[in-house]
Amino acid sequence: MSEALVAVEAAGTDGSVPAASGARQFWRRLRAQRAALVAAAVVALLVLVALAAPLFTALEGQDPTTYHPSLIDSARGGVPIGSLGGISADHWLGVEPQTGRDLFARLVYGARVSLGVALAATVVQVVIGVAVGVGSALGNRWVDQLLSRATDIIVSMPLMIMSLALLAIVPSSFPRPVLVTLVIGLIAWGNIAKIVRAQTLSLKGLDYVSAARLSGWGAWRVARRELLPGLAAPVITYAALLVPTNISVEAALSFLGVGVKPPTPSWGQMLTAADVWYQAAPQYLLLPAGALFVTVLALTVLGDGVRTALDPRAASRLRVGTGRRDSQDSKAAKSATDAKGAKTDKEASA
């Protein structure tokens, strides 16, 4: 549990000043991690590109759905005409094989779908997981048993298989990005519900929560005023790590042909037909694959940085970019441990 949470607990119901201090400590720890800062900058740039996709394509003068048959060589099976996949002043990253659609436009619009679906699915997972976890911990024995068994069933479901089954039977007229968001969000909330339930049970035993319940507050008021601030750290941490997972799931579903359907661009959908063009038009495969790799890597590093900043006792799983402060702290801790051991040996010899 983070120091911000400890400060809020010590302050009772009025935790405005300690919460502000905890927020400053969080930002200080996050700034000490260079890798997390670089990852945050990359994520911010990707979000900016996704939001400003219409502006970028307007500057290029292209759109993601217009075919350009004059830019492909039909005699060679639809290979783009020109070097490097048809890169030119009008098509900054070349064109798509067989269709001639602009690759830059499809890439930036694909970012909107991939990031949008992942973020929206994460919100759905967090809302359901927090509601079920808190309800299970605060409810009576029968409610707890019912919600816990439902959570166990959700956790045991294989995400990809269930998603493939649900997406295959839904009519194609339903908006595909919305459908993929709902399917991922409604199937993968079990783990966060378990985390929230365990954390809520530990918070219930604290003095200020017990005092609030004894004062006559209802379960909803206790959860909103006393428990949810304490759940912020683990929920934010887990949500930050869920986003890259959801991006990978969306890309996999689109790659398998049950996700986002053409002509709506998606990075996973672009990879569906790109595997047969890796020799004739390698950029058609490398661009969406590289975008997925960079996005997932940046979000994973940022999520690990957020986890470490919220819980300073948890060591980072990434041993790069943690800053000089962390190394100094480690050296100081090691020196203190060595000094303590030497003192113990000296006392034992005496």
When the pLDDT of each residue in the chain is averaged and rounded to a whole number, the result is 81
Predicted confidence (pLDDT) at residue 192 exceeds the cutoff of 60 = yes
Q: Give the model's confidence band at 223: pLDDT under 50 very low, under 70 low, under 90 confident, else very high.
A: confident
Helix, strand, coil shares of the chain, percent, nearest 5, are: 75, 0, 25
Selection from 48-62, 65-79, 218-232, 263-277 with the highest mean pLDDT: 48-62
Contact 94, 85 (CB under 8 A): yes
| pLDDT score recorded for residue 304 | 87
Q: What is the pTM (predicted TM-score) of this model?
A: 0.77
Q: What is the DSSP string of 305-317?
A: HHHHHH-TTSPPS
Q: Is the peptide bond before 263 cis (omega within 30 degrees of 0)?
A: yes
In tens, the pLDDT along 225-281 reads: 888 888 888 898 889 889 999 998 988 888 888 888 878 888 888 887 777 777 777
Residue 325 has pLDDT above 60, yes or no: no
Q: pLDDT per residue over 144-165, tens digit each? A: 999 999 999 999 988 888 888 8
User: Quick count: other Cβ atoms within 10 Å of Cβ 159?
Assistant: 18
Structure tokens of 66? 């217009």
CA dist 5 and 311 (Å) reads 10
Query: Would you tell me how many other CB atoms lie within 10 Å of the CB of residue 21?
Result: 16
Could you give the CA distance from residue 343 to residue 213 in angstroms, rounded to a whole number?
Answer: 48
Give Cβ neighbours of residue 122 (< 8 Å, ≥ 6 apart): 185, 239, 242, 243, 246
Predicted pLDDT of residue 339: 54
Question: d(Cα 335, Cα 76) in Å, to the nearest integer?
Answer: 69
Q: Please name the residues in contact with 180: beta carbons below 8 A apart, sequence gap of 6 or more.
A: 117, 121, 163, 167, 250, 253, 254, 259, 260
Q: State the pLDDT at residue 8.
A: 37
168-182 pLDDT, tens digit each: 888 878 888 999 999
Give the pLDDT confidence of 97-148 residue by residue, as tens digits.
Answer: 888 899 999 999 999 998 999 999 999 999 999 999 999 998 888 999 999 9
State yes or no: pLDDT of 4 exceeds 50: no
